[in-house]
A and B are shown apart, each in its own frame.
Chain A
Amino acid sequence: MSAVLTAIVALFLIGPVLLSALAGVTANWFLGASAGLTLAWVVKVWDLYAHTIGLSLWLALCCLVCTLLLGVPAAYALARTPSRLARLLEELLTLPVAVPGIATALGLILVWGAVGDFRIHWTFLLIGHVLFTLPFMLRAVLAALRGAELEVLEEAARACGANFRQRFLGVVLPNIRGGILAGALMVTALSIGEFNMTLLLSTPHTMTLPVGLADSYASMRLEVGSAFTLVFLVLLVPPLVAMQALSERLGR
């Protein structure tokens, strides 16, 4: 019973992905796979949407750097402050995940949309992505900070005369690198795929990959949309697989 249901669920989740990959390299989907395989659609996607792919990768990289610089120190401060205020701040910092992306985007446009050329600059998107992904980095790093017997180690280092900088760089960071890596992979994957907020934030000057995907679904033939989906999956799957491998290794 359970085995059959598991098989059905797996088919439901994987089937459409394979279907899409196949459609992306099929000469004519309407005629079926017998019409022959081609990479022409992938080439066409590259011609039409290469700039959206470039922007998304650039955004993901910048978003990762920002969440690392903002998130790791903040998580450390939160983990080492055992107070109500710290709990409240943690709650506040993870709030952007609970609030629907479109509401956040609307608010951002209302307050910051009219400030100079900010609205059509790629950093406008970056702000949204950092807001949305920072909670995931925070949680991953906090979990690592609370898991290890880090306070004892830190205390030992302090007793040996290490100052804060030495303790943070020499003791804390090496011990939470698994959590940081897990957070980094999550942030990258989420930033590449973000749509709920990005749809409103993006402009014709700043179009990301998922917005480009929506555009291709709406205005291009099925094969082009499929080929674009294929390209997207090729970009997205490596960080996801790395994330799974990592979590399995850490779990053991």
Chain B
Amino acid sequence: MARRSESAGPFLLRAALLAPALVLLLAFFLLPLAKLAMLGFEGQGYWAAITAPRSLRALRDTVLLSAAVSFSAVALAAVVGHFLARRRFPGRRLLVAMLTLPMAFPGVVVGFLVILLAGRQGLVGSVTEALFGERLVFAYSFAGLFAGYLYFSLPRCIATIMAAAEALDPALEEAARSLGARRWRVVRDVILPGLAPALVASGAICFATAMGALGTAFTLATDTSVLPMLIYTEFTLATNLGVAASLSVLLGATTWVVLALARGASGSLAANA
């Protein structure tokens, strides 16, 4: 221990290296969040803001949407990630690049892509009109939100799960197969347990990102109001600071709890594996 700390210079030096980042965090993050949490007590208070029918509906829809997207994204990414980790084929690198590129697309752009895909002048509408004589338009509904959230969740999940699958020993799968295990048994007893920590971790990140996402809902302007959107309208249109603050705290707390739970689960899964 003594050797380690000596090699990094004295304690004061290390404190000085950390100080600027900590000051920034304190002044522009911890202080504002504390103020936000305090503000929630003013006016009607937390309980009234959270139990208003509109808030409850938004909370329910946001959690449902985020959970559904997380499960779907992780399930799809598990298949795609495992496939990409095991197979070698021409164009594989390009495919991986294309699959992970949308990772940093902001939500507004994703919302616009959904409009191009399933909006009033969208591709799905044109195709369905040509085939069935009726335009299918779902961009501005819950399905549109789902498509958008799935779009920005998939790349990150695929990247994480592919890396985890590459770290798994393929010999285990071959051994199970040569011992006569059927395909789904190999998946259930070998691949899934091996991938479990990565699946839980990427699902949790996915959920947290979906809970806080604003851009996609902003562009799509759907009937379904997600919680970040409700906070935005409460703040800008209704200038109802207390309610916006209470809802922000609710949103932050829900997200944080899920992340903490998932990290615990992921840790114990990794320990058991």
Contacts and interface: CB of A to CB of B under 8 A. Distances in A.
Contact of A210 (B79, B114, B215, B259): B215
B232 A102 contact: yes
Contacts of B7: 80, 151, 154-155, 158
B98 A14 contact: yes
Interface residues of B, number: 85
Contacts of A93: 21-22, 25
B109 to A, nearest CB: 6
B20 A69 contact: yes
Contacts of B146: none
A160 interface: no
A93 B28 CA distance: 12
Contacts of B13: 164
A189 B104 contact: yes
B45 to A, nearest CB: 17
A38 interface: no
Interface stretch (B115-123, B169-177, B264-272): B115-123
Interface string A90-117: 0011011011111110111011100000
A5 interface: yes
A16 B101 contact: no
B112 A229 contact: yes
B199 interface: no
Interface in B1-33: 1, 3-5, 7-9, 13-15, 17-18, 20-22, 24-25, 28-33
Contacts of B25: 92-93, 95-96, 131
A234 B136 CA distance: 31
Interface residues of A, number: 80
A17 B102 contact: yes
B151 interface: yes
B106 A210 contact: yes
Contact of B113 (A16, A81, A101): A16
B252 interface: yes
Contact of A16 (B32, B103, B116, B219): B116
A34 B59 CA distance: 45
Nearest to B32: A107
B245 interface: yes
B87 to A, nearest CB: 8
A162 B218 CA distance: 55
B17 A237 contact: no
Nearest to B245: A106
B132 interface: no
Nearest to A211: B108
A166 to B, nearest CB: 12
Contacts of A110: 32, 35-36, 39, 241, 245
B39 A103 contact: no
Contacts of A213: 106, 108-109, 112
A75 B101 CA distance: 27
Interface string B30-61: 11110110010000000000000000000000
A89 B33 contact: no
B235 interface: yes
Contacts of A108: 28, 32
B195 to A, nearest CB: 14
Given A210-B108, A214-B218, A6 B98 contact: no
Contacts of B219: 214, 217-218
Interface in B245-271: 245, 248-249, 251-252, 255-256, 259
A92 B8 CA distance: 22
25 contacts: A6-B79, A16-B116, A17-B113, A20-B112, A77-B8, A77-B14, A77-B17, A93-B25, A95-B29, A100-B251, A101-B212, A102-B212, A102-B228, A103-B248, A107-B33, A108-B28, A111-B31, A112-B28, A138-B21, A155-B3, A158-B7, A193-B106, A199-B214, A214-B215, A241-B97
Given A112-B32, A214-B218, A226-B116, 11 more contacts: A82-B5, A92-B25, A96-B29, A99-B212, A103-B33, A106-B231, A107-B31, A108-B28, A108-B32, A195-B215, A244-B97
